[in-house]
A and B are shown apart, each in its own frame.
Chain A
Amino acid sequence: MKQKTVAVVGAAETTEMGKIPNMSQIMLHADAALNAMKDAGLTAKDIDGVATAGDSPVEVAHYLGITPTWVDGTSVGGCSFMLHVRHAAAAINEGLCNTVLITHAESGRSRVGARRFSRDPASQMGQFEVPYGVTTPPTMFTIPVLRYMKDVGVTEEGLAQVAVVQREWAAKNPRASFRDPITVDDVLNSKMIAWPFRLLMCCLVTDGGGALILTSAERAKDFPQKPVYILGTGESCETPMISQMEDFTTSKAFRVSGKKAFEEAGIKHSDVDHLMIYDAFAHLPLYGLEDLGFCERGEAAAFIREGHTRPGGKLPLNTNGGGLSYMHSGMYGMYALQESVRQMRGIAPAQVPGAKISIAHGVGGMFAASGTIVFSNEAP
């Protein structure tokens, strides 16, 4: 139900990435926000909408000296920022605010001023999952994959190939944490984390953050950067407990969110020039390619093996190196959005020549939630 288009007019990550022990988590929010405001030629006084996840938007607004007329603290995991973009677009359309700042920051590695992770033993997860050793993403997000591999016929090599191709992209990105080429054998010989997942199939743990600034497309023309328009958005959620996912071979939240975004944008899959799929673990791009409809069920691993997602392929995927090789501070969705914006501005380190439409697709929790944003550098 879009009346008018909204655009990204400011986008930036934290000044440093990786290991930032000299900044607390709230300062990482501010560092990214100040960089994004500079990018947009704005100051805190110009911002009237604030959204963040994990930490409170109240903290972010007050720390930066912003008095908002619209606040969104939707916190459904790493795709929360896709949901913020969607909600912000609706809020700007409705006149609730004009200029929205969305931030993410996490001192994921150094843990300076970071939230403590704990689960109430009386919560559903605390009662029915945690007692069995399900406490961190490597023992949660990974659980469905053996069922997927058996039912659709994907091998360990197929899983490993995802990490290999993403490293090819990371090699082109000076800010990526890991840039040395790797082979399928390297992945399969890396340390076992949780069978069948090896170390190189799991995302990094780093410090960092990012921020976006959105306003109406009408106003966007007056900003210093080339506007990146939002063509379509989607969101959904399924279950907080991975054991209760309807089907371990497909994410309902992915399917619902992706379909909404495609419908709203009015585009076909063949229109998409660039794709980001949140890759906390190597199986995520496989589920994403299938659940978003880029591949038939069970064909994503072959699609990647055949080279369609690597540099020069027809569907460049995770061109910053992804959570597997670029960075992952805890809620990676923001970095997927940042890379889509860079690609649409034409300034990405591994720029896809002539790209006009980009999709950033995020996951929240362990297949718990999802958000999808369709961007374009051409006004609709």
Chain B
Amino acid sequence: MADYNRPLPAPTPETQHFWDGCREGELRLQRCTSCKESYFPPRPFCPACGSRDVEIYKASGKATLYSYVINHRPRPDFGDTPHSIAVVTLAEGPRMMTNIVDCPQTPEALELDMALEVTFEKANDEISLPKFKPSKG
């Protein structure tokens, strides 16, 4: 793959499991074992009830399109083709920022609430970014 010149995440001790999961092709969420709440971004305690008793699990990878913009301003790292910057609602509840890929970057193709599924874009040997594409059904 071509040199990846976009900004990349630097994992921290609290988020390493998430980025390890992405590298291995699975989307990992966390869930509170007392109140059962799933949450994101990763942290070793439950933001709903404060419990440190939490578990990591493999999420379904299914999501729906919550909102987005299509950036038209050229950027050195993302090039000058319009591209989506989107927030998706995961089937498990939490939301995450991402890009919608494998589909035209137009308002017509990007319909709010459309079904999506995760796909991983490899940036380097350490980091793969979770992106979302229209669900095959």
A interface, CB within 8 angstroms of B: 119-122, 124, 126-135, 138-139, 142-147, 150, 191-197, 241-244, 248
When C-beta atoms are compared, the residue in chain B nearest to A192 turns out to be B72
Q: Are A128 and B70 in contact (CB under 8 A)?
A: no
Which of B9, B66, B72, B78 contacts A121 (CB under 8 A)? B9
Q: Which residues of B contact A132 (CB under 8 A)?
A: 85-86, 97-99, 129
Contact of B41 among A119, A124, A192, A195 (CB under 8 A): A124
Q: 22 A-B Cβ contacts within 8 A? A: A119-B7, A121-B10, A127-B9, A127-B10, A127-B11, A127-B41, A128-B40, A131-B6, A132-B97, A134-B97, A142-B69, A143-B68, A143-B86, A145-B67, A191-B72, A192-B72, A194-B69, A194-B70, A195-B107, A241-B41, A243-B96, A248-B67
Q: Is the CB of A122 within 8 A of B10?
A: yes
Given contacts A121-B9, A128-B40, A135-B7, 9 further A-B contacts (CB under 8 A): A121-B7, A127-B15, A128-B41, A131-B7, A133-B6, A133-B71, A133-B83, A142-B69, A147-B66
In the complex, the answer to whether A138 meets B73 with C-beta atoms within 8 Å is yes
* Residue of chain A at shortest CB distance from B4: A131
Most A C-beta atoms less than 10 A away, residue of B67, B70, B96? B67
Chain B nearest CB, measured from A281 CB (Å): 11
List chain B residues, Cβ under 8 A from A147. Answer: 66-67, 112
B41 to chain A, nearest CB (A): 5
Q: Are A130 and B7 in contact (CB under 8 A)?
A: yes
CB contact between B72 and one of A134, A195, A244 (< 8 Å): that residue: A195
B1-45 vs A: 1/0 string, CB under 8 Å?
000001111111001000100000000000000000000110000
- Number of cross-chain contacts by CB at 8 Å: 109
The yes or no answer to B82 lying at the interface (CB within 8 A) is yes
- Using A126-B7, A128-B9, A139-B69 as known contacts, say yes or no to A133 and B129 having CB atoms under 8 A apart: no
Q: Give the Cβ gap from A64 to chain B, nearest Cβ, in Å.
A: 37
Residues of A within 8 A of B133 (CB): none
Is the CB–CB distance between B10 and A126 below 8 Å?
A: yes
Residues of chain B whose beta carbon lies under 8 Å from any beta carbon of chain A: 6-12, 15, 19, 40-41, 66-73, 75, 77-78, 82-83, 85-87, 95-99, 107, 112, 129
Q: Is the CB of B6 within 8 A of A143?
A: no
Complex Cα spacing A248 to B95, Å? 11
CB distance from A274 to the nearest CB of B (A): 32
* A241 x B7 contact (CB < 8 A): no
On whether the beta carbons of B7 and A146 are closer than 8 Å, the reply is: no
Per a CB cutoff under 8 Å, which of B77, B83, B87 touches A143?
Answer: B87
Distance in angstroms from A251 CB to nearest chain B CB is: 14
Contact partners of B68 in chain A: CB under 8 A? 143, 146
In whole angstroms, what is the CA distance A195 to B82 when docked?
9
- Minimum CB–CB distance from B133 to chain A (whole Å) comes to 14
Instruction: Tell me the minimal C-beta distance from B14 to chain A in angstroms.
Output: 10
Q: Which of B11, B67, B73, B83 contacts A146 (CB 8 A)?
A: B67
CB distance from A287 to the nearest CB of B (A): 14
Q: Which residues of A contact B7 (CB under 8 A)?
A: 119, 121, 126, 130-131, 135
Which of A120, A126, A135, A243 is the most central at the interface, judged by chain B CB atoms within 10 Å of its CB? Answer: A243
Q: How far is the CA of A303 from the CA of B70 in the complex (A)?
A: 28
- What residue of chain A has the Cβ atom nearest to residue B75's Cβ? A133
Task: Report the separation of the CA atoms of residues A244 and B47 in the bound assembly, to the nearest whole angstrom.
Answer: 12
Distance between Cα atoms of A105 and B81 in the complex (Å): 35
- Give the CA-CA distance A271 to B47 in the complex, in Å: 39
